[in-house]
């Protein structure tokens, strides 16, 4: 079983924020594969279901911690303990300032670049979980980071955001079979970031 975690803040006013792209990704994966309805558990909202793969159906849990970002680890730890899911079977989708908008990279462990959600998970569980890093770009100065991540995506971002979310859903079979590099490759193939596309003259 795979635990697919999306990071974000609960509540309608945060729903469209850059910081909530992790929530958006797990919603898309769960919707694309007809997971069951969301249930309030583990200090979060959890949906479970099956993802069809070449190896047959694989069970997965999609979890959105409802603790606010800086306490995400409490929710993830509860779910992991309940289902006895090891760290290497946990994938966390989150916004990544250090990647250009639309770029997507998988990573295990390493620096967290001040991300409070990742810090909380690391404190509760350790650092060797898989990270699905969803590039949102950097506002240019550290003083602007807080307001940048806690504001909605620009309308001009809609195309690449929707494409990236859709790609995560369509490639999820590779996620549950543990083919993380192939998952990264397929997501980038289905949804190339705006910065990687040739510019029109």
Order of all β-strands in the sheet with 2-6:
39-41, 44-53, 56-65, 2-6, 90-96, 130-135, 104-108
Calculate the dihedral angle through the C-alpha atoms of 184, 187, 192, 194, rounding to the nearest 10 degrees.
Answer: -90
Q: Are strands 130-135 and 104-108 parallel, antiparallel or unpaired?
A: antiparallel
For residues 170 and 32, the answer to whether their CB atoms sit within 8 Å is: yes
Find all residues with CB under 8 Å of 179, minimum gap 6, and list them.
none
Which member of 17, 19, 94, 115 is catalytic?
Answer: 19
DSSP 125-165: H-S-SEEEEEE----SSGGGHHHHHTSBPPGGGHHHHHHHH
Residues 185 and 104: beta-carbon distance below 8 Å: no
DSSP-derived 3-state class of residue 75 = helix
The residue written with tokens 């770029």 in the block is 103
CA distance 187 to 171: 6
Is 141 labeled as catalytic in the residue annotation?
Answer: no
**Active site residues per annotation:** 19
């Amino acid at each position: 079983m795979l635990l697919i975690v999306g990071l974000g803040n609960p509540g309608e006013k945060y729903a469209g924020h850059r910081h909530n792209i992790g929530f958006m990704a797990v919603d898309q994966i769960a919707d694309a594969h007809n997971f069951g309805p969301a249930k309030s558990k583990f200090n979060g909202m959890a949906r479970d279901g099956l993802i069809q793969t070449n190896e047959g159906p694989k069970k997965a849990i999609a979890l959105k911690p409802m603790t606010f970002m800086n306490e995400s680890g409490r929710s993830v730890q509860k779910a992991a303990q309940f289902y006895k899911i090891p760290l290497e079977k946990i994938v966390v989708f989150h916004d990544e300032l250090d990647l250009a908008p639309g770029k997507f990279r998988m990573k295990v462990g390493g620096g967290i670049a001040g991300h409070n959600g990742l810090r909380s998970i690391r404190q509760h569980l350790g650092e060797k979980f898989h990270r699905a890093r969803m590039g949102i770009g950097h506002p240019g100065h550290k003083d602007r980071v807080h307001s940048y991540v806690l504001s909605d995506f620009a309308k001009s971002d809609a195309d690449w955001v929707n494409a990236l979310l859709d790609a995560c859903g369509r490639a999820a079979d590779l996620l549950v079979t543990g083919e993380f590099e192939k998952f990264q490759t397929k997501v980038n193939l289905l949804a190339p970031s705006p910065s990687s596309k040739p510019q029109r003259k």
